[in-house]
Amino acid sequence: MFFEMVATLVSGFAGAGVVLLLNKISGGRLPKWAMPVGAGLAMISTTIANEYAWYDRTQATLPEGMVVIHTVEKQTFYRPWTYVKPFTERFIALDEPSVRTHDARPSMRMVDTYFLGRWSAPEKMVMLADCDAGKRAPLIDGVSFDADGEISGVDWFAPEEGDPLLTAICKLEVS
């Protein structure tokens, strides 16, 4: 975030410099308000570019084995350009190598899930999935496992058909 702020300030100075250069070339014919407008437009353009580049930059830094399974795009009235092309505000990634099962219950899976957002800290959650029953639940305090792979203390959630998180977990290859 600090580097984005620095980039925005630098682009403001660059925008003002371009207007200053154009003013010199035109013999001083540009109005006095052109320089702050040029700086402002450059800063707004940089901010917009950073908004759109965040997802690709973040996805590129994910470790090997981490797969994006769901993205959330956003459109807002105070960003009218997002109606032309929405930007990715947050996404969910699975750590595929972290999938775990019990030999007696191969349809029950446990996997590390990461929730990453543009303006929020990354959150890691271990997710349980019952692929046969089509249910999932976060692994929280109070959940216990017995020797047969039975899980107790779980508050299962049955999502709608085609839930990207449950679908991705159940498609994972278990070794």
Token representation of residue 151? 């899980």
Token representation of residue 40? 């402002």
Q: Is the Cβ–Cβ distance between 39 and 19 less than 8 Å?
A: yes
Please say if the pLDDT value at position 62 is more than 80: yes
Closest CA to 163 of 113, 123, 124: 113
Q: Is the Cβ–Cβ distance between 109 and 132 less than 8 Å?
A: no
pLDDT level of residue 154 (50, 70, 90 thresholds): confident
Please tell me the pTM assigned to this model.
Answer: 0.83
pLDDT in the model for residue 107: 87
Running DSSP on this structure, what letter comes out for residue 79? B
Phi-psi region of 27 (alpha: psi -120 to 50; beta: other; left: phi over 0): left
* Residue extents of the structural domains in the chain: 1-59, 89-171
